[in-house]
Amino acid sequence: MTERKNIAIVGAGLVGSLLSLYLAKRGHKIDLYERRPDQRQFAEDGGRSINLALSDRGWRALRGIGIEEEVRQVAVPMHGRMMHDDKGNLSFLPYGKEGQFIYSVSRAGLTVALVNLAEKKENVKLHFNRQLTHLDVRINELQLRNRDTEEVERIKPDILFGADGAYSAVRSEMHKRELYDYSQSYLEYGYKELTIPPAAGGGWQLDKNALHIWPRGNYMMIALPNIDGSFTCTLFFPHKGPLSFESIKTETQLFAFFQNSFADAILLMPDLAQEYFANPVGSLVTIKCFPWSFEGKAMLIGDAAHAVVPFYGQGMNAGFEDITVLDQMLDNFTGDWRDLFERFERKRKPDADAIADLAVLNFIEMRDKVADPRFLLRKKIEAKINEKYPHTWLPLYSMVTFSDLPYSYALETGRKQDEIMELVMPHIQAPEDFGKQEVQDLLHKLLQEEERLK
Per CB under 6 A, the list member of 7, 8, 9, 14 interacting with ligand FAD is: 14
Per CB under 6 A, the list member of 7, 23, 53, 352 interacting with ligand FAD is: 53
First to last CA, the chain: 41
Q: Which stretch binds ligand FAD (CB under 6 A): 33-41, 70-78, 182-190, 267-275?
A: 33-41
- Single-letter residue type at 432: E
Per CB under 6 A, the list member of 16, 157, 190, 406 interacting with ligand FAD is: 16
Could you say whether residue 290 binds ligand FAD (CB under 6 A)?
A: no
Q: How far is CA 226 from the centre of its chain?
A: 17
Least distance (Å) from ligand FAD to the CB of residue 132?
A: 4
Does the bond joining 291 to the residue before it have cis omega, within 30 degrees of 0?
A: yes
Task: Say if residues 354 and 411 touch (Cβ distance below 8 Å).
Answer: yes
SS3 track for 381-434? HHHHHHHHCCCCCCCHHHHHHCCCCCHHHHHHHHHHHHHHHHHHHHHCCCHHHH
Could you say whether residue 215 binds ligand FAD (CB under 6 A)?
A: no
Could you say whether residue 157 binds ligand FAD (CB under 6 A)?
A: no
Least distance (Å) from ligand FAD to the CB of residue 433?
A: 35
Q: Smaller CB distance to ligand FAD: residue 286 or 417?
A: 286
Residues 114-143 close enough to bind ligand FAD by CB under 6 A: 131-132
State the CB neighbour count (10 A cutoff) for residue 262. 23
Q: Which long-range contacts (CB under 8 A, 24 or more apart) does 415-423 make?
A: 416/450, 417/382, 417/393, 420/446, 420/447, 420/450, 421/378, 421/381, 421/382
Q: Which stretch binds ligand FAD (CB under 6 A): 161-169, 179-187, 430-438, 441-449?
A: 161-169
Q: Smaller CB distance to ligand FAD: residue 31 or 382?
A: 31
Least distance (Å) from ligand FAD to the CB of residue 269?
A: 18
- Is the backbone of residue 301 left (phi > 0), alpha (psi -120 to 50) or beta? beta
Least distance (Å) from ligand FAD to the CB of residue 363?
A: 12
DSSP 87: T
Per CB under 6 A, the list member of 8, 9, 15, 399 interacting with ligand FAD is: 15
Cα separation, 55 vs 59, in Å, equals 6
**Sheet strands (E) in 46-100:** 51-54, 76-78, 80-84, 90-94
Could you say whether residue 95 binds ligand FAD (CB under 6 A)?
A: no
**Between vectors from CA 223 to CA 92 and to CA 365, what angle results, nearest 5°?**
60
Q: Which stretch binds ligand FAD (CB under 6 A): 212-220, 316-324, 339-347, 431-439?
A: 316-324
**Between vectors from CA 166 to CA 346 and to CA 31, what angle results, nearest 5°?**
80
Per CB under 6 A, the list member of 157, 313, 395, 406 interacting with ligand FAD is: 313
Could you say whether residue 13 binds ligand FAD (CB under 6 A)?
A: yes
Least distance (Å) from ligand FAD to the CB of residue 338?
A: 23
Least distance (Å) from ligand FAD to the CB of residue 314?
A: 5
Least distance (Å) from ligand FAD to the CB of residue 418?
A: 24
DSSP string spanning 244-286?
STTT--SHHHHHHHHHHH-HHHHTT-TTHHHHHHHSPPEEEEE
Q: Which stretch binds ligand FAD (CB under 6 A): 46-54, 181-189, 271-279, 342-350?
A: 46-54
Per CB under 6 A, the list member of 95, 103, 191, 407 interacting with ligand FAD is: 191
Least distance (Å) from ligand FAD to the CB of residue 373?
A: 27
Per CB under 6 A, the list member of 106, 226, 286, 317 interacting with ligand FAD is: 317
Binding region for ligand FAD (CB under 6 A): 10-16, 33-36, 48-49, 52-53, 131-132, 163-165, 169, 191, 234, 282, 302-304, 310, 313-317, 319
